[in-house]
Structure 1
Amino acid sequence: MSRITLPRGTRRTPLAVAAATTAVLLAAVPAAAHVEVESPGAQALAENVRLTFSAESESATAGITELRVVLPKGIEPADVTYGEGPAGWKFTTTADGYSVKGPAVKVGADVEHSVVVRQLPDAKELAFKTLQTYGDGKVDRWIELGASGGDDHGHGHGNPAPVLKLKAAAPGARTVSPSPSSPASASGAPAPTAEKTPVGSSPQAADTAKEDDGGLSSGAWAGIVAAILVAVAAAVFLVRRRGAAQG
């Protein structure tokens, strides 16, 4: 039986085609951008825990300018303080979490920032919904809980929120008292207390006292009492004098 031998170049063609096709397919698949939160060894009810968030850029034309994080149940905005972040970025609390924002970072650059939480709640995992904004106004929404129903890219809907897994609470760990909510308490200054102002210690109080006494001052009342005593003494003197004359 005769054996057919293909030319050397022809035998390599299928391999070359397969390699080229694979390269094209890999190039066509975009990188899976996402936002992550990490805290090595995090435990439920642990105190003063540092959380580090890393947000990957998905834009080829604009840099990231803001990350807004919605805090999970059990963590209040007052429980969070800023750690580190991009140069020039500022930290502010919101009604349901916090925001870090500032000048746009370099196009294509990822953003990392950290916060310190006063105490983690007693839970198995915590989801931090995150909105990632770019300098051109585009927003990546990482807000879905549980299984993702989207394309794992922040532009659409159904993109998974970053989740932090927690270990079981340490034996004896307890929930600390709630964070102070008033601005004065948060700054470390004692909360103002209501004090009663003694009557007569202010012009307004003095005016009120005069009105309560019928408009007469204490000096006027003293004069009236003195006049009455003089009149009584005079009457007694006259009565005694008349009795002595008649006798």
Structure 2
Amino acid sequence: MSATRATLRRAATVTALTAASVLVTAGVASAHVTVHPESYAKGATDGVLTFRVPNEEDTAATTKVQVFLPTDHPVLGVLVTPQAGWTAKVTTTKLKTPVKTDDGTITEAASEITWTGGRIGAGQYVDFDVAFGQLPEDTDQLAFKTLQTYSDGKVVRWIEQAQGGGDEPENPAPTLKLTAGDDTAAPAASAAKSAGAKATSASPGTSDSTARGLGVAGLVVGALGLAAAAFTFVRTRGARS
């Protein structure tokens, strides 16, 4: 009988650890500043990039967001979608290497976008939409280094990049993959833009967070199911002995 109880305790411990691991992983994954969609075709035109900024602090609000655009592979024709409660400032810089387009040679491009004046509270996020005229054709990805400033003065630097296919760094920069040929991500960007007006300054109750929550719940339920099966097996075996 003591062996049976020990087995049940082990099963319960495994279940608890599994559930805790799933929940912790989901929390870490959702705390990063990210760019959506995750990919676009090289040289894509007239699209939208959405920078999702979640607040990962319980006692402070996000009050400033700075997104730095690469100028070695510039994003052309940047326009910022108005965001209620926030003021956006776009900084441009002269390009070291001008870009030739069908409309002429481009010598300047946006290098930084800063949003101030608003607040992102605990358990909330804001989607900042940025329209572009054309993406570069001569690189496989774009990293948008981002600084997130909180009301208590803390600054989180989302500037790190994975090296050589290694593990994701602690504070990864939002990264957009650029693919060859047609890409199906463009329609997703339009959908994100239309949904953004409804989801602005949203709590985790929005569809994206709901989907993550359902996925986590499914994994936890699966773990509990395995524990229940182990319990039944052990109890039946104990009864027979």
Q: TM-score, normalised by structure 2?
A: 0.55
- 1:53/1:111 Cα in 2 relative to 1: closer, same or farther (>3 Å)? same
1:168 aligns with 2:164: no
| Structure 1 partner of 2:132 | 117
Whether the 8 Å CA contact 2:147–2:158 is kept in 1: the answer is: yes
Offset of 1:31 from its aligned partner?
A: 2.1
- 1:118/1:28 Cα in 2 relative to 1: closer, same or farther (>3 Å)? closer
- 1:169/1:6 Cα in 2 relative to 1: closer, same or farther (>3 Å)? closer
Q: How many residues align?
A: 159
Secondary structure in 2 matching 1:79? coil
Taking the TM superposition and a 5 Å limit, the aligned residue runs for 1:117-136 are 117-122=132-137, 123-136=139-152
Gapped runs of 5+ residues in structure 1? 154-158, 171-247
Query: Which structure has greater strand proportion?
Result: 2
Q: Deviations over 1:103-158 (max 9, x none)?
A: 212222122111011211112211111111112121111112333989844xxxxx
Offset of 1:75 from its aligned partner?
A: 2.3
Taking the TM superposition and a 5 Å limit, the aligned residue runs for 1:202-213 are none
Whether the 8 Å CA contact 1:79–1:117 is kept in 2: the answer is: yes
1:137 aligns with 2:133: no
Quick one: distance in 2 between partners of 1:83 and 1:152?
30
% of aligned pairs identical? Answer: 36
Whether the 8 Å CA contact 1:46–1:169 is kept in 2: the answer is: no
Using CA pairs under 8 Å that are at least 6 residues apart, name the structure with larger relative contact order, 1 or 2. 2
- 1:25/1:121 Cα in 2 relative to 1: closer, same or farther (>3 Å)? closer
Q: Tell me which structure has the larger Cα radius of gyration.
A: 1
Whether the 8 Å CA contact 1:48–1:119 is kept in 2: the answer is: yes
| Structure 1 partner of 2:117 | 102
Quick one: distance in 2 between partners of 1:166 and 1:92?
26
Quick one: distance in 2 between partners of 1:84 and 1:141?
24
- 1:38/1:21 Cα in 2 relative to 1: closer, same or farther (>3 Å)? closer
Gapped runs of 5+ residues in structure 2? 93-110, 183-241
Offset of 1:89 from its aligned partner?
A: 0.6
What code does the residue aligned with 2:158 have?
Answer: W
Taking the TM superposition and a 5 Å limit, the aligned residue runs for 1:175-214 are none
